[in-house]
Structure 1
Amino acid sequence: MNPSDEALPSLRDALRRSASGGSDFLGERLRSLAQTQRDSRVIADGAGMLPGVGPSHSSYSQVRHRLHRGLLEVLNPQAVAQAGMPQIQAAIEAYLDDALARESLPLSRAERDQLGEDLLYEVIGLGPLSPLMTDPTVADILINGPHQVYVERHGLLELSEVRFHDNEHLMLTIERILARVGRRVDESQPMADARLPDGSRVNVIVPPIAVHGPSMSIRRFMREVYGMKELVAGGSLTAKAAEFLRLAVKARLNIIVSGGTGSGKTTMLNCLSNHIPEGERILTVEDTAELRLNHRHIVTLEARPANAEGRGHVSIRDIVRNALRMRPDRIIVGEVRGGEALDILQAMNTGHDGSLATLHSNSPRDTLARLETMMLMAEVELPQRVLREQVGSALDLIVHLGRFADGSRRVTHITEVVDVDNGTVLTQDLFLTRREGEHIVMRGQGIVPAAAREFHERGVELDPALFQP
């Protein structure tokens, strides 16, 4: 028998007991709903309010929250976890039918359907956040306490109309998200990372660290996969720069994609990776698996944080070290954050040409400095000169991205790492993006890469005209 079929009687039995038992819970909740509707006649906003229920005082969200709390009291949590979507929907329908049968309420069919949908979101979804998670224009969701929810659309932040009832309501949603991945937050563990089923990344921080209430950020996993053509069409870089990057990947140059938070590093890394020729074995190493490569021979590896007992931690560095034993042609590291910088650069220097990685930095020169700093985090006693020689011999290109005031994300530098001279890593900019009057323009610098010979030796024809302004 399907587990969900076994769970359905438990759900229905719980609902029947709540409706016919001695408790007046449902009647109390529904009388509150009726009083709310009589007291308020403010037209609802677009956040799922019932007509006639105003957000300013006795709001629909408060009523929904009370009904949700009641529903959680009468439903068996284990049964809910085992039940399928049709069974849970049937249980919520039964809950509303029993409730409405006990009280006379001025609810239209549309209002009742909306209430049922919202309760379903509360039981199995993300509550008030569910509409935002289905909005394709929302890239990030930032919750600063129960009454302040910001979203990022088209690169710009805006305050949404979504609200939680109180801190307890927000904590219920947070706990439901973390329970799915076996994690929790409390005073002893006030911070946690998680991933939603759709791949979106979640970070949570709660009191006492978060002074004004629980805070949560959700970085949406965008289902739409961008290619170089889309980036060129969107103005992120020119067609000449895109063609050069395609050839650089084909010629197995080692590339670091750098930039600030939310500048589009992962998107660019994904675009570059999709130009790797078929027939090569690719290993991807990420904190959270986000890359979506159109490649047949790919092994996806993901780091794992420690559990509640502090055990089971597997770092990116652990995975990179193991990946070197898995016969990769190319290694792609989603983000370099620490001592794994030394391991990935050593891999680039020892036969794994064409490897790719991202890291946070403010400029190409800062990228080199950060790599040097992170190599020191590997706790290997190497002089600074040796570290810089390692960077200079391993790395070929830095693709740096930035966010502009209008919310656009653009490639600001394509910089070649040329050599190391007297302990200084020498670089030259091949493409630069600058503001010219009212326009932001990327131009070639008229410099043919020093690696042009490597392109030729690997059978990749490089047209010098690509670099002309």
Structure 2
Amino acid sequence: MTRHRAGSGSSPAARPGAPATVGGPPIDPALLETVRQTVLAESGPVTDLRVATALRGSGRLLGAAGSLAAMDRISAELNGLGPLQPLALDPRVTDIFVNAPDSVWLDRGAGPERVRAGFESEAAVRALAVRLIAVGGRRLDDSSPCVDVRIAPGYRVHAVLPPISCTGTLLSIRIRRRTVFTLAEWREAGSVHPDMARVLERIMAARLSFLISGATGAGKTTLLSTLLGLCPASERLVLIEDAAELDPDHPHVLTLEARHANTEGTGVVDLAELVRQALRMTPGRVIVGECRGPEVRELLTALNTGHSGGGGTIHANSARDVPARLAALGALAGLTPQAVALQAASALDVVIHVERSAAGRRVAEIGVVAATAGGMPADGLQVVPAVSAPPPGTGEPALVRGPGWPTLAARLGIAAPPQGPASS
């Protein structure tokens, strides 16, 4: 979800499928290289003054507009995202993808859109990828061809080199926007049904433990930040993330970020260790930004030891698929499916599923986590649908109640009404 939804404006840039353009008029590559070498010949931070001085020293007469454009481009080359920097300035852009020098795409909330301009060569793409990864304290080369880092000011960069990539250097940039959406803004954007929003508010108020499921880019992290903003100010939130992306509107937030191995292969601090450390910090709620490995064992353990109201996000195709996903992650931690089912059935209360379509991101379903009588699914664990949003475009005004609604209503401490499952 974005604050300015694609397609909501009248300008071509706001319409889904309208190609974007990188930057303004083209800059002479020879001039860029000359100024770049002059600036980098001196140590110290790259400032606008140094770039302007080097530009004047080049002897090129560009005029006021041309000089400003050249300064912006060169500063972006040395400090920012290079030729991609103008794209990142659009507040609607959440992702930028480089598939080849002439294949650059962005996402403004309505799916990938191709950008008209690109890079000069494959070498230019690789040089940018290597520089961005180095800024994040990692190394991108033949011995380490796939790297993911977080760099200031809020970019998460993933790069893949050939021959792992068959088409050349691949670059994926996720942009963390500081804007945090309220639940009211989710409703106004049509991303959450009003009755579903009231159920979400009750889930947080009742301190139910939860997982938010969905595909990559569905809005799991955005929704999690929104829900954490509903927590009382008296609660102490400890957030555990592989790359810090959560930014809830809450006065008492502590963020722990995992650390990858250095060039010597040491210094790793993984999510599982951070969960253990978080439990020593008197947390009001323990939140794992994304469960995708052995840390699921520590999270389930924490939620089973009196730390209610916690949760995180998990990749899954639907709420029903979460038990199988938990079983797979539990196997990485050495847990049997039966052990995962026993832990999860008592640790988790609900699964909130978000999905993404051509119409945008939306909260599609809430299911309750319960044990099964038999051995399936996932050997004793299931997610039973409680409430589902009507499909977009159907015109249906009410939520669809599922077989899990009485259980969810009981956990929320409300009676199941004859109509409108979110009312009290």
Q: Shorter-chain-normalised TM-score: which range?
A: 0.7 to 0.9
**Residue equivalent to 2:355:** 402
Q: 1:158 aligns with which of 88, 105, 113?
A: 113
The answer to whether 1:207 aligns with 2:169 is: no
Q: Contact 2:199–2:422 (CA<8 Å) still a contact in 1?
A: no
User: TM-score by structure 1 length?
Assistant: 0.79
Is the 1:337–1:374 contact (alpha carbons within 8 Å) kept by the matching residues of 2?
A: yes
SS at match of 2:407: coil
Q: Deviations over 1:288-333 (max 9, x none)?
A: 1111122232211111111122111111111112222222121011
The percent identity for this pair of structures is 34
Tell me which amino acid in the other structure corresponds to 2:36: L
Residue 318 of structure 1: aligned partner:
273
Matches of 2:382 and 2:167, distance apart in 1:
48
Question: Which has the larger share of helix?
Answer: 1
Q: Deviations over 1:62-93 (max 9, x none)?
A: x2x322222333334562xx236xxx322222
Match of 1:72 in 2: 36
> Quick check: 2:215–2:315 contact (8 Å CA) kept in 1?
yes
Q: TM-score, normalised by structure 2?
A: 0.87
Give the alignment partner of residue 83 of structure 1, picking from 32, 39, 45: 45
Cα distance in 1 for partners of 2:56, 2:71 equals: 10
CA spacing shift, 1:436–1:240, aligned 2, 3 Å: closer
Of 277, 281, 296 in structure 2, the residue corresponding to residue 341 of structure 1 is 296
**Offset of residue 426 of structure 1:** 4.6
In structure 1, what is the Cα distance between the partners aligned to 2:196 and 2:223? Answer: 13
SS in 1 for 2:97: strand
What's the offset of the Cα at 1:278? 2.1
Distance in 2, matches of 1:174 and 1:388, equals: 42
- The residue that corresponds to 2:391 in the other structure is 435
Matching residue of 1:449: 406
Q: After superposition, give the CA deviation of every residue in 1:342-368 in whole Å (9 maximum; x if it has no partner).
A: 221121111011111100001112111
Q: Match for residue 57 of structure 1?
A: none
Equivalent position amino acid for 2:58 in 1: A
Structure with the larger RCO, 1 or 2 (CA within 8 Å, 6+ apart): 2
- Quote the Cα distance in structure 1 between the aligned partners of 2:284 and 2:270: 22
Q: Structure 2 unaligned segments of length 5 or more: list them.
A: 1-19
Say whether 1:115 aligns with 2:79.
no
Following TM superposition, the consecutive aligned residue runs of length 4 or more in structure 1 with deviations greater than 6 angstroms are none
Please report the RMSD computed on the Cα atoms of aligned residues, expressed in angstroms: 2.4
* Aligned pairs for 1:77-226 within 5 A: 79=43, 82-83=44-45, 88-100=47-59, 107-226=62-181
Q: Residue type of the partner of 1:211?
A: C
* Structure 2 residue 261 is the aligned partner of structure 1 residue 332: no
Q: Structure 2 CA distance, aligned partners of 1:426 and 1:72? A: 58
More displaced stretch, 327-336 vs 110-119: 110-119
Equivalent of residue 288 in structure 1, options 220, 240, 243 = 243
CA distance in 1 between counterparts of 2:178 and 2:114 reads: 24
Going from structure 1 to structure 2, the CA distance change for 1:320 and 1:436 (only over 3 Å counts) comes to: closer
Read off the aligned partner of 1:417 and give its amino acid letter: V
8 A Cα contact 1:433 1:440, kept in partner: no
Aligned with residue 467 of structure 1, among 417, 421, 424: 421
Tell me which structure has the larger Cα radius of gyration.
Answer: 1
What's the offset of the Cα at 1:49?
5.2
- Cα pair 1:339 1:374 within 8 Å, conserved: yes
Secondary structure of residue in 2 paired with 1:421: coil
Per the TM alignment, residue 148 of structure 1 is displaced from its structure 2 partner at its CA by 1.1
Change (3 A) 1:133 1:427: closer
Residues paired across the two proteins, number:
398
